[in-house]
Amino acid sequence: MTLRYGIDAPFWVGTLITVGFVFSLISLMGLPHSIGGLFFGLFLLCMGLWMFFYSTVIKIKHRYVILQLAEVRAGEEVLDVGTGRGLLAIAAAKLGCNVTAIDHWSQWDISGNGREAFFKNIEIENAPPIELIDGDARELPFADERFDAVVSNFVIHNIKGAKGREQAVREMWRVLRPNGRLVISDMQRVSEYIEILTPLASRIETKKVFYTFPFSQIVVAYKK
Residue 138: helix, strand or coil by DSSP?
helix
Contact 119, 153 (CB under 8 A): no
Give the CATH class of 59-223. alpha beta
What are the residue ranges spanned by the domains of the chain?
10-55, 59-223
pLDDT tens, position by position, for the chain (224 residues)?
788 898 988 888 999 999 988 888 887 776 655 777 788 889 999 999 999 999 999 999 999 999 999 999 999 999 999 999 999 999 999 999 999 999 998 777 788 889 999 999 999 999 999 999 999 999 999 999 999 999 999 999 999 999 999 999 999 999 999 999 999 999 999 999 999 999 999 999 999 999 998 899 999 999 98
* β-strands 201-209, 216-223 pairing: antiparallel
Beta strands in 30-156 (DSSP E): 77-81, 98-103, 131-134, 147-153
